[in-house]
């Protein structure tokens, strides 16, 4: 019942916040968000499952008696309530609850109008995020998937910067077209399984495909159908990740979104795309992924390098962090397509690590902006002198991004590179890995140069604002995140053990179906 | 002959919703005739609402087996009482209840309130009878009973040019389409020798000599339906009528009347003109509906996207939705395994649409009540001034676009999924593209409500239109509730569709 309870608390809490007066909304939302936070931490503490729930029904942890309730009968098929977690999804649930609580706290300073609506939308989005990472019935999952989108559009559109209307409609159109494409791709798979499945449960569908029960539909043979569906879903999820060339909504959305929303967007929403790629494309159709491994790896490497180079060309701190996300998510794709335990596990680990680090950097930029009212690198220098805490946290986060040992970024990238380097199913894997590694050099380039220009040197600020002390509740979330980043860097096993046990079956299935590693 | 023997067993129970409404309408007429000047609005409104709610309650009771057995015919097969008729009675009575609720505040400063409510009830009765009609004769009579009061209701604002113009267009084109329709019926009768739907169906299956006459008759009937459900190219009366009419009536006509018209089309074409036999005879009505569906989806959505006024946008969106539902007829296949799925999708969409669309028009009624203005930019800032109603309409609009925040997602999925399963994937593709486009124009209203700055310092929202508020909220809550609780309704829709094509 714990998953259902988390969803209910968050959702009802959102309604309560919506009805609360503005001056209480922020504190109340924080209090309510502690519910799912503590609940998910309890789940993490109690978790003793192993295996991947897509392959092994025994791997479904925290599945309640409500699971299997039929919500809707559609002819031969049932839509059911199915919710459970395994070693891949549980860390992402925890990531969502942690970042939501911190984002709420970091919103206390910058958000000063329509507060109850703002915090209510954040809580609604948290509920939908928990749903995305726990729901195992395709339609319920899709409802949550789109349910994340609606609050996000409004959060950008109402509380965003000067070009918020453009950013909001661009985000809405991009992600919605993507949803339609992936929906059709998945319907194709369903049509190919007509008669063999009785529900839309993702594990059942995945197992049916692995049992070779996919039939041809219309003009398509089973193999062609699998390929078409794979790429339709890949395209749909790629927008969310985002992968070059469908990344152009991201900088606009990030720059216009208020900082707490950017934190959630980069920290959790992007992970929805990679999580879905892992659960759908790489778990259900590994043979298609392996047959096109070089193509996908090339896309990943292009994302890494191109995203990093775009970041290099920016002057706005927020844009720099935004573009660097494109680059970082490329590592996730590279790790996934390697189909080795370290590759897939490292990709999952990178999702968590990037969620924490990018959240930290966005929050730090937010703290700097709250005080200086500028984000332009050229408008300031020597901030470390006046804002030592925020500056040093930014430096620490940046080093995490660059992969400083003992921080989570190092562990994540190391896993991905080890995994990708030894990928037997991927031709030229050393070349792809080496090219990907070069991305880190560029990352170091733009982060170091941005830091040097804005944080160090003689103090200079080209706005009319006095620099004051940032309030405690602005700074506290930074240290929480920094602590988690170091924790994952020092002891990656805290998470990696469960991730590894959940990714092993994917690698095995790929080896069986694709004949690779 | 006593009515009992004429009507069949328990006929009054089967027709309880219609009888309750007609009794309420007549009672209102009586009161109004006795004392026309001292009409007590509160009392008239209360009686009307009680009548529609009683009709709604009896429809629900009948649907869940608390009445006589379903699937029987009444009055010598002239009427039929089955799941389909009850499902659509439910749609019509729900929409009517919402509209009555919303009309209380809307009518505040208008004369002739008693007439308004009784005309509304009479039209609703006609629509319920359309749902029961089982022969071409009763189809036509019920259609006229529903249409005539609707003409008067659309032109109810006698001081408003738009209302009178819309009503006149609606009336002239409606009268023409009735004539076309009845001529089609006469040709079908000439070819088959019967007016009963099942007998026509038998005659067609056994083979008809004059296939040309039958074909022309079917084509004329398609045109007649096309007018009633406002499908392109027979739609041009609709934007003016929906825009000119009082907003609650726009919601009523574009939801309830459309739903009832569609049920007649479903019933007539699946029962009287069985697909296999008709295609053998060279009369492929599925193809005709396919053309209409594509045209309606594309033109409806494109036209809606170019409007500047909210009500007119909703009018065109209502046309676009008729296009989606037309897939239910266009994606049928002779012997197709998923015919019930497609048809049930159409019925379910009409059900959900009844709430979504009525709710959206009632929000416009709310805006008209506050004198907000007609254009998108006039609505700017309402989100802050009236957050509850704005949130409700935001949900309704997203659901209209097919996002899974409301029941509209399921019904569109069933329509498109069924079409794919029957091999008509292009309808699903066009429908999806059209839905993506529709998000754009619904978003314009959402953006105006929540994001745009008000141009001239905001609105003065005076009065507490409780009825309108409640109606919009109920519509939104039902729409959201259907996201989770669509199961029972879908089951009824499947049963109803199975009876027709099974």
Q: What is the largest CA-CA distance in chain B?
A: 71
Which secondary structure element, helix H or strand E, spans residue B374, and what is its range?
none
The verdict on whether omega for the bond into residue B462 sits within 30 degrees of 0, i.e. cis, is no
Distance from CA of B487 to the nearest CA of A (A): 4
Percentage, residues of chain A above pLDDT 70: 98
CB contact under 8 A, A157 and B403: no
CB A61 within 8 A of CB A317: no
* B413 vs A contacts (CB less than 8 Å): 139
CB contact under 8 A, A157 and B447: yes
Distance CA A347, CA A351 (A): 6
Task: Give the nearest chain B residue to A19 (CA atoms).
Answer: B388
Q: Does B387 touch chain A (CB under 8 A)?
A: yes
Tell which of B338, B445, B447, B490 to mutate to test the A interface (max A CBs under 10 Å): B447
Q: How would you write the pLDDT of chain B (502 residues) with one tens digit per residue?
A: 556 666 777 888 889 999 999 999 999 888 887 776 666 788 889 999 999 999 999 999 998 877 788 888 888 889 999 999 999 999 999 999 999 999 998 888 888 888 899 999 999 999 999 999 999 999 999 999 999 999 999 999 888 888 999 999 999 999 999 999 999 999 999 999 999 999 999 999 888 888 889 999 999 999 999 988 999 888 889 999 999 999 999 999 999 999 999 999 999 999 999 888 888 888 889 999 999 999 999 999 999 999 999 999 999 999 999 999 999 999 998 887 788 889 999 999 999 999 999 999 999 999 988 888 889 989 988 888 888 899 999 999 999 998 888 888 889 988 988 888 788 888 988 998 898 889 889 999 999 998 888 877 777 787 778 899 999 999 999 999 998 888 888 889 998 999 898 7
At residue B2, the pLDDT reads: 59
CB A97 within 8 A of CB A258: no
CB contact under 8 A, A143 and B440: no
Q: Does A195 touch chain B (CB under 8 A)?
A: no
In degrees to the nearest 10, what's the CA dihedral of A235, A238, A244, A250? 130
Q: Does B410 touch chain A (CB under 8 A)?
A: yes
Tell which of B443, B488, B498 to mutate to test the A interface (max A CBs under 10 Å): B443
Q: Does A225 touch chain B (CB under 8 A)?
A: no
Distance from CA of B446 to the nearest CA of A (A): 9
Domain layout of chain B by residue ranges: 284-502
* B452 vs A contacts (CB less than 8 Å): 165
* B484 vs A contacts (CB less than 8 Å): 71
Closest Cβ–Cβ partner in A117, A143, A218 for B483: A143
Is the ipTM higher than 0.95? The answer is: no
Q: Does B435 touch chain A (CB under 8 A)?
A: yes
Q: Does A22 touch chain B (CB under 8 A)?
A: no
- Measured in degrees and rounded to the nearest 5, phi and psi for residue A395 equal -60, -45
At residue A517, the pLDDT reads: 38
Distance CA A245, CA A299 (A): 9
Q: Is the pLDDT of residue A237 over 70?
A: yes
- For chain B, the residue count is 502
CB contact under 8 A, B447 and A150: no
CB contact under 8 A, B450 and A154: yes
**A199: β partners:** A78
* A169 vs B contacts (CB less than 8 Å): 440, 443, 447
Distance from CA of A403 to the nearest CA of B (A): 40
CB contact under 8 A, B405 and A74: no
Distance CA A205, CA A211 (A): 10
At residue A516, the pLDDT reads: 42
Distance from CA of B383 to the nearest CA of A (A): 10
Contacts of A329 (CB under 8 A, 6+ apart): A241, A242, A243, A270, A273, A274, A303, A307, A354
At residue B5, the pLDDT reads: 67
Q: How far is CA A336 from CA A91, A190, A205, A493, B79, in A?
A: 17, 24, 21, 19, 63
Nearest to B150 by CA among B254, B262, B268: B254
Average pLDDT, chain A: 89
CB contact under 8 A, B490 and A187: no
Q: pLDDT tens for residues A47-96?
A: 988 889 998 888 888 988 888 888 777 667 788 899 999 999 999 999 99
> Which one is predicted more confidently, A426 or B445?
B445
Q: How far is CA A10 from CA A20, A38, A363, A426, B198, in A?
A: 15, 12, 23, 43, 54
* A147 vs B contacts (CB less than 8 Å): 404-405
Cβ atoms within 10 Å of A247's Cβ, excluding its own: 24
CB contact under 8 A, B432 and A173: no
CB B166 within 8 A of CB B155: yes
CB contact under 8 A, A158 and B487: no
Distance from CA of A212 to the nearest CA of B (A): 21
At residue B37, the pLDDT reads: 66
3-state helix, strand, coil in chain B (%, to 5): 75, 0, 20
At residue B38, the pLDDT reads: 61
Distance from CA of A70 to the nearest CA of B (A): 8
At residue B120, the pLDDT reads: 95
Distance from CA of A91 to the nearest CA of B (A): 26
Helices A341-372 and A388-402, packing angle to 10 deg: 160
A271 burial level (CB within 10 Å; 0-12, 13-18, 19+): buried
* A70 vs B contacts (CB less than 8 Å): 487
CB A254 within 8 A of CB A319: yes
* B451 vs A contacts (CB less than 8 Å): 157-158, 164-165, 168
CB B243 within 8 A of CB B162: yes
Distance from CA of A143 to the nearest CA of B (A): 5
Q: What is the secondary structure of A287-335 as a DSSP string?
A: HHHHHTHHHHHHHHHHHHHHHHHHHHT--BHHHHHHHHHHHHHHHHHHH
What is the model's pTM?
Answer: 0.87
Task: Give the nearest chain B residue to A157 (CA atoms).
Answer: B451
Q: What is the largest CA-CA distance in chain A?
A: 72
* B443 vs A contacts (CB less than 8 Å): 169, 172
Tell which of B377, B403, B454, B483 to mutate to test the A interface (max A CBs under 10 Å): B403
At residue B154, the pLDDT reads: 94
At residue A75, the pLDDT reads: 66
CB contact under 8 A, A146 and B404: yes
- Measured in degrees and rounded to the nearest 5, phi and psi for residue A428 equal 55, 30
Q: What is the secondary structure of B121-150 as a DSSP string?
A: HHHHHHHHHHHHB-BHHHHHHHHHHHHHHH
Helices B41-63 and B83-106, packing angle to 10 deg: 160
Distance from CA of A167 to the nearest CA of B (A): 12
Closest Cβ–Cβ partner in A70, A158, A176 for B451: A158
* A168 vs B contacts (CB less than 8 Å): 447, 451
Helices B161-192 and B136-154, packing angle to 10 deg: 170
> Which one is predicted more confidently, A95 or A214?
A95
Nearest to A29 by CA among A96, A99, A93, A100: A100
Q: Does A66 touch chain B (CB under 8 A)?
A: no
At residue B4, the pLDDT reads: 61
At residue B248, the pLDDT reads: 94
Q: Does B502 touch chain A (CB under 8 A)?
A: no
* A149 vs B contacts (CB less than 8 Å): 403
Which pairing describes strands A77-81 and A69-74: parallel, antiparallel, or unpaired? antiparallel
For B80, the 3-state DSSP assignment is strand
For A380, the token pair is 């300031």
């Amino acid at each position: 019942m714990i998953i259902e309870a988390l969803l209910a608390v968050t959702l009802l809490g959102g309604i309560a916040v919506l009805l609360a007066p503005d001056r209480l909304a922020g504190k109340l939302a924080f209090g309510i968000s502690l519910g799912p936070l503590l609940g998910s931490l309890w789940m993490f503490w109690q978790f003793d499952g192993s295996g991947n729930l897509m392959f092994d029904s025994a791997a479904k942890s925290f599945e309640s008696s409500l699971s299997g309730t039929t919500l809707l009968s559609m002819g031969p098929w049932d839509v059911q309530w199915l919710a459970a977690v395994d070693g891949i999804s549980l860390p992402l649930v925890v990531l969502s609850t942690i970042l939501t609580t911190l984002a709420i706290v970091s919103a206390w300073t910058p958000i000063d109008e329509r507060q109850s609506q703002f915090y209510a939308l954040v809580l609604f989005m948290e509920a939908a995020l928990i749903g995305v990472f726990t729901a195992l019935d395709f339609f319920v999952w899709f409802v949550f998937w789109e349910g994340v989108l609606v609050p996000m559009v409004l959060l950008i559109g109402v509380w965003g910067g000067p070009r918020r209307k453009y950013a909001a409609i661009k985000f809405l159109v991009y992600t919605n077209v993507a949803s339609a494409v992936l929906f059709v791709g998945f319907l194709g798979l369903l049509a190919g399984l007509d008669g063999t499945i009785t529900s839309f449960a993702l594990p059942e569908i995945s197992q049916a495909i692995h049992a070779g029960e996919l039939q041809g539909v219309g003009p398509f043979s089973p193999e062609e159908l699998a390929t078409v569906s794979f790429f339709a879903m890949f395209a749909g999820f790629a927008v969310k990740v985002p992968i070059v060339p469908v990344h152009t909504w991201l900088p606009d959305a990030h720059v216009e979104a208020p900082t707490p929303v950017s934190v959630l967007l980069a920290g959790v929403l992007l992970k929805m795309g990679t999580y879905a790629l892992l659960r759908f494309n790489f778990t259900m159709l590994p043979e298609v992924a392996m047959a096109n491994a070089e193509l996908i790896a090339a896309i990943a490497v292009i994302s890494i390098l191109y995203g990093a180079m775009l970041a290099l060309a920016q002057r706005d701190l927020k844009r720099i962090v935004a573009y660097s996300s494109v680059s970082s998510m490329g590592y996730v794709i590279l790790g996934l397509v390697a189909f080795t335990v370290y590759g897939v596990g490292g990709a999952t680990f990178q999702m968590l690590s990037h969620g924490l680090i990018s959240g930290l950097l966005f929050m730090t930029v937010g703290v700097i902006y709250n005080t200086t009212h500028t984000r332009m690198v050229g408008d300031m220098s020597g901030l470390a002198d006046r804002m030592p805490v925020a500056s040093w946290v930014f430096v620490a986060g940046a080093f995490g991004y660059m992969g400083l040992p003992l921080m989570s970024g190092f562990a994540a990238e190391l896993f991905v590179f080890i995994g990708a380097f030894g990928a037997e199913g991927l031709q030229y894997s050393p070349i792809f890995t080496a090219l990907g590694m070069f991305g880190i050099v560029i990352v170091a380039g733009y982060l170091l140069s941005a830091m040097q220009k804005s944080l160090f040197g003689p103090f200079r600020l080209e706005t009319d604002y006095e620099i004051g002390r940032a309030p405690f509740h602005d700074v506290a979330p930074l240290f929480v995140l920094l602590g988690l980043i170091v924790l994952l860097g020092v002891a990656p096993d805290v998470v990696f053990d469960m991730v590894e046990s959940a990714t092993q079956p994917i690698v095995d299935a790929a080896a069986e179906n694709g004949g690779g590693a | 002959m006593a009515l009992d023997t004429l009507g069949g067993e328990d006929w009054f129970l089967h027709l309880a919703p219609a009888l309750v409404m007609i009794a309420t309408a007549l009672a209102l007429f009586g009161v109004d005739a006795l004392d026309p000047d001292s009409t007590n609005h509160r009392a008239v409104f209360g009686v009307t609402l009680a009548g529609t709610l009683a009709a709604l309650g009896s429809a629900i009771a009948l649907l869940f087996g608390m009445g006589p057995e379903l699937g029987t015919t009444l009055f010598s097969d002239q009427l039929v009482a089955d799941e389909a008729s009850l499902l659509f009675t439910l749609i019509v009575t729900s929409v009517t209840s919402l509209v009555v609720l919303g009309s209380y505040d809307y009518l505040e400063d208008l004369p002739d309130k008693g007439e308004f409510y009784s005309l509304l009830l009479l039209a609703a009765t006609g629509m319920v009878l359309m749902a029961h009609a089982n022969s071409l004769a009763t189809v036509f009579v019920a259609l006229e009973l529903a249409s005539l009061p609707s003409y008067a209701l659309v032109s109810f604002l006698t001081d408003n040019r738009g209302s009178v113009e819309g009503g006149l267009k609606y009336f002239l084109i409606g009268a023409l389409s009735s004539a076309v329709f009845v001529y089609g019926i006469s040709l079908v009768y000439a070819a088959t020798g019967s007016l009963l739907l099942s007998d026509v169906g038998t005659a067609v299956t056994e083979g008809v000599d004059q296939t040309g006459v039958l074909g022309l008759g079917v084509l004329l009937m398609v045109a007649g339906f096309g007018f009633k459900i406002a499908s392109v190219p027979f739609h041009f009366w609709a934007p003016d009528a929906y825009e000119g009419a009082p907003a609650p009536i726009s919601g009523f006509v574009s939801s309830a009347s459309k739903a009832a018209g569609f049920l007649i089309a479903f019933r007539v074409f699946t029962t009287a003109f069985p697909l296999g036999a008709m295609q053998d005879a060279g009369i492929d009505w599925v193809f005709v509906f396919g053309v209409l569906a594509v045209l309606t989806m594309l033109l409806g959505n494109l036209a809606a996207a170019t409007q500047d006024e909210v009500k007119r946008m909703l009018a065109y969106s209502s046309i676009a939705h008729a296009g989606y539902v037309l897939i239910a007829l266009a994606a049928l296949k002779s012997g197709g395994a998923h015919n019930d799925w497609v048809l049930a999708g159409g019925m379910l969409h009409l059900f959900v649409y009844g709430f979504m669309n009525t709710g959206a028009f009632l929000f416009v009624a709310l805006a008209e009540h506050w004198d907000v203005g007609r254009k998108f930019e006039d609505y700017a800032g309402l989100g802050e001034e009236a957050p509850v109603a704005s949130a409700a309409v935001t949900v309704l609009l997203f659901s209209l676009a097919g996002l899974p925040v409301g029941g509209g997602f399921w019904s569109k999925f069933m329509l498109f999924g069924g079409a794919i399963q029957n091999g008509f994937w292009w309808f699903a593709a066009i429908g999806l593209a059209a839905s993506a486009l529709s998000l754009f124009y619904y978003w314009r209203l959402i953006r105006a409500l929540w994001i745009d700055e008000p141009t001239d310092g905001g609105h003065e929202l005076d009065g507490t239109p409780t009825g309108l508020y409640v109606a919009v909220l109920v519509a939104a809550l039902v729409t959201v509730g259907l996201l989770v609780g669509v199961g029972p309704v879908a089951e009824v829709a499947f049963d109803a569709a199975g009876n027709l094509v099974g």
